[in-house]
Structure 1
Amino acid sequence: MSKGKRVIVVGAGPAGVLTAYGLAKQGAHVTIIDREADVVSSPRATIYLPSTCKALDTLGLLEEAKTLGPSTYDYQCFFALTGNVGRMSHKLVEDLTPYHFILHFGQHILAKMVLARFLALPNTQICWSTNLVEIAENDEKVVAVVDTPNGQQTLEADWLIGADGARSTVRKLIGASFDGFTWPDTFMAANIYFDFGLHGYVPSNMISDPVNWAVIAQIDNTGLWRVAYGEDSELSEEQRLARVDQRLRHWLPEGAEYTLERANSYRVHQRSASSYRVGRVLLAGDAAHATNPIGGMGFTSGIQDALTLIDCLSSVINEHANDDTLDWYAYERRRIFLEVANPTAIEFKRRTQESDPERRLEDERNFLEMTANEDILRQALMSVFILESRPYQSDWRDTLVKQDLDQQTNGKTVVGGTSSTLRRTTEIE
């Protein structure tokens, strides 16, 4: 298979722009296309866990990223059943890793910063307001038919990367299914200007409650915070928006004044593409997998997808490896999602929304016992690094795959990771 340097990246979200930037730094000729007219100016993901900070450092982006938002250390969980609060600090592992902190700023800020660096490199371009219509490939190239403001055009490349979100056009065009389920819950995200830090909150907080659960986190240095909570799926969007103030009052001090910057609802999913590679086309980020956002597993996994794909594809196009390394990328990132990110996100969601009083007390007891045991807590804080890929080795099919199969338990690689009766489908409906 040809090892040419021309790459098309579909999608200008974090996974897409980071992959494009990393490949361009390695000499690839990269074109990004995106259906939007510009970077979507919504914070969406806002928390950069330590493994993401390490990934940004690997790409030479961390020092600038640190200027975009606050660096913080603390996380706490409020247990509504008893009123107890559990706390942990990443400072506890500063002797184990230089990445013992969390960054806070919107993913659109990251995308803009990376795009500026990307476009400063040779052989790079971005095409806004461009919709992918069709993909064709052969042993020599991949051809993308796109709709642009100037009419339909054809783009040719050696490789195409789909990083175009959970409703990925690329994934559908290559015939990959998106197996899993959609949660019945509706999530609401309200961004407000209010200093939660003056009222017992740290920069990252989870409120464990079956009705009034919430994730409350600082977004940036401007005083903007996010309150994510559950809403009634039977209500219209207008009805949900009309209830924002009523719902926020549950977590705000009595009589508190705030400014609502924006609010919107969304549905969440647990899904994985059936394959992350088909020939000359590869998937990354939400195009490859989707998960509920509690715990940050989706965004964090997508950044690791980008880092691994940069390493593998640049090795191929610079003729340091054959394209078996791309099969490794597809295998390893899918394995990590199915075995780590997906079940972890489901467990975060369960603990946040658990309704059974006995299980709630057990969850609380386990959390408090963990925070009281320094060795166990240090292991827990370092566990986010297992989202990183293992290094490629040429005999991975005979060694690592066998090792993985030996370690698997029944149901471990089933999307969902739960005995839930939620209906499985092969695509978001």
Structure 2
Amino acid sequence: MNKGKRIVIVGAGPAGLVTALGLARQGAQVTVIDREDDILRWPRAMVYLPSTLKVLDEIGLLDKAKSVAAWGHEYNLRFPLTGNIGRLDYHLIEDLTPYSFNLHFGQDVLAEMILEEFLKLPGAEMRWKTSFDTVEQAADCVQVSLHTPNGPRTIEADWLIGTDGARSSVRKDLGVEFEGFTWEDIFMATNVLYDFDKYGYAPSTMVADPDHWCVIAKIDDKQQWRIAYGEDSRLSEETRMARIKERFKHFLPDPDAPLELLAANSYRVHQRSAATYRVGRVFLAGDAAHATNPIGGMGFTSGVQDANTLIKCLGGVINGTLAEDALDWYAYERRRCFLEIANPTAIEFKRRTQERDTAKRMEDEANMFALMADREMSRQAMMSIFNLSGRDYREDWKTTLLVQDQSGQTPALGAHGGVKLEA
């Protein structure tokens, strides 16, 4: 009965779980595996931009998300060089989209929401403490070898989806190159209790400063906030952790006001893309397919859009409503969206927050205020996040959209003083 609809998803992050719920609701028999014991709680992306809200709406979770999230209607870019603050107000696009706001809540909360709905569905299964080993492909199925709490096991499925992060075991087993570079600096992500609202901070705030840049974002409506900033990669992890509160003095509007550090972790960031997002019956999505620095939310947002496209394309194929080349379209279109939109946008966000050249910093500020002064340009800028959703599948895509795209030139992932991604 389920032949053709048996799917194994490796990785219980946002991309994997959104994909799992969407495909299970179309009648697929979906098994999600993850090496962890349970949902991860450490600091990760938690700002849901308008295009992500559209996906949550399509999978039936938006109302629940609204009920638990902090809402954001403004983005701020602070310029310490002059003390000015650039502002974009999402109310400007209320007539263009029903998703004219951001929601703020943890990925762990999203995972709880999805699993609650996913596990109600026939054939839906979540296996913790289970890791991917290898995959063997045949013409009509895949054999997936796993490490389980009860020892090695092999399961048969029709399709395998790797959403297991930037160090993806699925991608490595396929031998797919992860092209691009790794930034030299270390990113610190900290969760704090601090009343930024009292000082007029927008729920989504960036501070442009070469030495003390940071991203400050509300996590929920209980005064939990994220402060993300850069650290010297030459420092030990112990040193980076020990100087967190010293660094906070540069980010807090009042360093003497009450603050509680709730969690912290550090990580390398990358600008990388898999050479292909499909190998036969195996797909890559989310950070397994691409990795980017988190400034601007391009990685999380792209991963959710990968999931949405995969739900439509693979769901259409297994239910007989789309031709099989919709699977090639998924791989092509999602890679294009990363290379042409997410990757350069994230690089530019990083440059703006960390720019050292004073003239360029003043130019960035002038450009921001010129944007604010032009209502139509502001609206276009805020709506541009929907470009990450990509285009819908067309049966003639190879003779129309592909030809059109090839008349231009897809940007390459170049070297930007990066270092090799460690195994």
Q: Report the TM-score when normalising by structure 2.
A: 0.97
Q: In structure 2, give the amino acid aligned to 1:165.
A: G
Cα–Cα, structure 1 residues 3 and 413, in superposed 2: closer, same or farther, change >3 Å? farther
* In structure 1, C-alpha distance between the alignment counterparts of 2:237 and 2:168, rounded to whole Å: 24
* 8 Å contact kept, 1:3–1:316: no
Q: In structure 2, give the amino acid aligned to 1:422.
A: G
Secondary structure of the 1:164 match is coil
Per the alignment, residue 30 of structure 2 pairs with 30
Give the deviation of 1:221 after TM superposition.
1.5
Secondary structure of the 1:295 match is coil
Per the alignment, residue 416 of structure 2 pairs with 420
* 8 Å contact kept, 2:183–2:417: no
* 8 Å contact kept, 1:3–1:317: no
* 8 Å contact kept, 2:215–2:227: yes
Q: In structure 2, give the amino acid aligned to 1:415.
A: L
Residue-by-residue CA offset, 1:115-136 (whole Å, 9 max, x unaligned):
1100011111111100111100
Per the alignment, residue 104 of structure 1 pairs with 104
Residue-by-residue CA offset, 1:29-49 (whole Å, 9 max, x unaligned):
000011001111124011000
Give the deviation of 1:317 after TM superposition.
0.7
Give the deviation of 1:413 after TM superposition.
2.4
Gaps spanning 5+ residues in structure 1: where?
none
Give the deviation of 1:219 after TM superposition.
0.5
Per the alignment, residue 374 of structure 2 pairs with 373
Q: Report the TM-score when normalising by structure 1.
A: 0.96
Q: In structure 2, give the amino acid aligned to 1:392.
A: Y
> Across the two proteins, how many residue pairs are aligned to each other?
421
Residue-by-residue CA offset, 1:375-427 (whole Å, 9 max, x unaligned):
1100001000000121111111111111112233xxx42114xx73435x5x5
Percent of pairs with identical residues: 57
Per the alignment, residue 203 of structure 2 pairs with 203
Q: In structure 2, give the amino acid aligned to 1:339.
A: E
Q: In structure 2, give the amino acid aligned to 1:153.
A: R
1:241 aligns with 2:241: yes
Give the deviation of 1:190 after TM superposition.
1.3
* 8 Å contact kept, 2:43–2:264: no
Secondary structure of the 1:67 match is helix
1:51 aligns with 2:51: yes
* In structure 1, C-alpha distance between the alignment counterparts of 2:114 and 2:418, rounded to whole Å: 38
1:335 aligns with 2:375: no
Per the alignment, residue 384 of structure 1 pairs with 385
Segment drifting more, 342-351 vs 242-251: 242-251
Cα–Cα, structure 1 residues 43 and 115, in superposed 2: closer, same or farther, change >3 Å? farther
* In structure 2, C-alpha distance between the alignment counterparts of 1:309 and 1:428, rounded to whole Å: 29
Per the alignment, residue 155 of structure 2 pairs with 155
Secondary structure of the 1:185 match is strand
Q: In structure 2, give the amino acid aligned to 1:238.
A: E
Secondary structure of the 1:294 match is coil
Secondary structure of the 2:407 match is helix
Matches within 5 A, 1:304-319: 304-319=305-320
Secondary structure of the 2:68 match is coil
Matches within 5 A, 1:21-170: 21-170=21-170
Gaps spanning 5+ residues in structure 2: where?
none
Q: In structure 1, give the amino acid aligned to 2:416.
A: S
The two structures, once aligned, show a CA RMSD in angstroms of 1.3
* In structure 2, C-alpha distance between the alignment counterparts of 1:75 and 1:45, rounded to whole Å: 16
Matches within 5 A, 1:204-219: 204-219=204-219
1:405 aligns with 2:415: no
* 8 Å contact kept, 2:43–2:265: no
1:272 aligns with 2:273: yes
Secondary structure of the 1:217 match is strand
Which stretches of structure 1, 4 residues or more, deviate above 3 A after TM superposition? none
Give the deviation of 1:265 after TM superposition.
1.1
Q: In structure 1, give the amino acid aligned to 2:112.
A: K
* In structure 2, C-alpha distance between the alignment counterparts of 1:81 and 1:138, rounded to whole Å: 60
